[in-house]
Amino acid sequence: MAGEERRFKIGYALLPKKENSFIRESLVNQAKSRGIDLVKIDRERPLVDQGPFDCVLHKLYGEDWKSQLEDFRSRNPGAVIIDSPDAIERLHNRISMLQVVSELKIENQSETFGIPKQIVIYDQETLFDKQAWELLKFPVIAKPLVADGSAKSHKMALVFNHEGLNKLKPPIVLQEFVNHGGVIFKVYVVGEYVKCVKRKSLPDVSEEKLNSLEGSLPFSQVSNLATHEKSDDKYYKMMHLEDTELPPQSFMTDIAKGLRRAMNLNLFNFDVIRDTRFGNRKEREVVVVEKH
C-alpha cells in the first residue's frame, strides 16, 4: 500500500541458551514498534526455504550451517548476514582470539591496554616443563584452548601452584591472573554502538593468601576466596562496585572500532579489567582485553 512504512524481517538462529537470554518479549515488541520483525529460523528446515529475510542474525557453527548460509547468500545477495562464519571461527581459538588485540594500534595516548602473559600447553609433558613457565608466575587461569561456546569451553580454573596442574587436561591456555579489584567491565558492540557496564568478577589474590592456598579451584568456587567470614555479597559490597569508575567511553570506543575492523565482526563483546597495581588513575590505567 502506498505510504505504508517499510518493514524489515530479521531471521535469528541461536543456541537455546542464547535465545533464552536475548530474545525476550520486550525486545520482540520493541523491534516490532520500530518496523522490525524478529522471526525464529527453523533449524529443521533448509534456510533458503524460509524468509525472505532482510538480515540473518546467527550464532551457530558447523559445516552444514556454513553451507546453508553460503547458499542463502548466493540466492539473496541483498540480505545481510551477521556475522561471517569465517570471522566467527577465528574466535574459537583463544590464541588467535587474543592475537589481534596485541596488534591493535590505538591513537589514545593517555590510556594503555594489553593482554595478560600467557602460554599454550598442548601436552602433559610440556605442562610440567619448568622452562615453559619462564614467562608466568602463579596464580594462573587455566582455560581450554577451544572457545566455541560449549559447556566444556567454559570450564576454567584458578591454579595456585604446580600441584594444581595435575587436574588439567591439555590443550589449554595458561594465563597470568591479574588482580583487578573484583570488577570486570563488559563491553558490548553492535556496529558502531558501544556500551560498557560493570559486573562482579573474581576476587584478588594477595601474595599472603597465595602462600596459604594449594592446588586449584574451578571458577564456580573462586568466590570462596574472598574471606573465610564474609559472604560473597559482603565481599563485593566491600569492593565498592558502584563507586568503580568506568574506563573512558572514548577509549572503549577506540578499542571496539579497532577490534571490529581487525576481526570483520559487527556483533561481539569483550571483557576489560583494570590492573589494581595502577589503581583508578586515568593517566596510568592498564586495561586487559579478552574477546568473546
Tell me if 178 is assigned to a ligand binding site.
yes
According to the annotation, is 177 in a ligand binding site? yes
Provide the 10 A C-beta neighbour count for residue 176: 17
Is residue 114 marked as binding?
Answer: no
Q: Does 180 carry a binding-site annotation?
A: yes
Bridge partner residues of 186 (DSSP)? 197, 271
Handedness of CA 48, 50, 56, 59 (dihedral sign): negative
Distance CA 260, CA 168 (A): 33
Cell numbers that stand for 147 in this block: 572457545
153 annotated to a ligand binding site: no
Question: Is 137 annotated as contributing to ligand binding?
Answer: no
Q: Is 201 annotated as a binding residue?
A: yes
Is 182 known as a binding-site position?
yes
Q: Is 22 annotated as a binding residue?
A: no
209 is in an annotated binding site: no
Tell whether residue 100 is among the known ligand binding residues. Answer: no
Nearest Cα to Cα of residue 149 among 65, 92, 231: 92
The reply, when asked if residue 8 is annotated as ligand binding, is no
Closest by CA position to 185, among listed 241, 120, 260 = 241
From the CB of residue 19, how many other CB atoms can be counted at a distance below 10 Å? 14
167 is annotated as contributing to ligand binding = no
State yes or no: 175 annotated in a binding site.
Answer: yes
Place of cell 570483520: 264
- Cα of first residue to Cα of last residue in the chain, in angstroms, is 43
Ligand-binding annotation for 195, yes or no, is no
Binding site per annotation, positions for Mg(2+): 271
Binding site per annotation, positions for 1D-myo-inositol 1,3,4-trisphosphate: 18, 59, 154, 186
Binding site per annotation, positions: 18, 59, 94, 143, 154, 175-186, 201, 271
Binding site per annotation, positions for ATP: 94, 143, 175-186, 201
